[in-house]
Amino acid sequence: MTHLGYLLVGWGVWLAALALYGFRVVARGRRLSTRVPADRQRWMTTRDRP
């Protein structure tokens, strides 16, 4: 395979960026969820809606 170094760097950084962003946003959500009462987490309490 030609240009293997460029391919590994390009694909590696791309996949790592997606994974890091995904983990980071989920971790922020976990941290914030413990601070906010459930009745303010509107999208999770669908049963409360009429």
Partner 1 sequence: MTTQVAAQDRGDGDPTRAHTGSRATRGLGLVVLAGLVALVLLAFFAAPPDDEQGDAVRLIFIHVPSAILTYVAFFTTAAGSAMWLWKRSSWWDITAHAAAEIGVMFCALTLFTGSIWGRPTWNTYWDWGDVRLVTTLILFLLMVGYLVVRSSGGDDPAVSTRAAIVGLLAAINIPIVNRSVEWWFDRTLHQKASLTDGKLEDLTLFTLVFGLVVGLLFFVWAMIHRFRVGWLEHQARAEDLDEALEARRSEAAAAGSSASGGEA
3-state secondary structure 1-50: CCCHHHHHHHHHHHHHHHHHHHHHHHHHHHHHHCCCCHHHCHHHCHHHCC
**How many residues of this chain bind partner 1 (CB under 8 A)?**
38
If the CB atoms of residues 43 and 50 are measured against partner 1, the closer one turns out to be 43
- 50 touches partner 1 by CB under 8 A: no
14-43 mask for partner 1 (x: CB under 8 A)? xx-xx--xx--xx-xxx-xxxxxxxxxxxx
**Binding of partner 1 by 1 (CB under 8 A):** yes
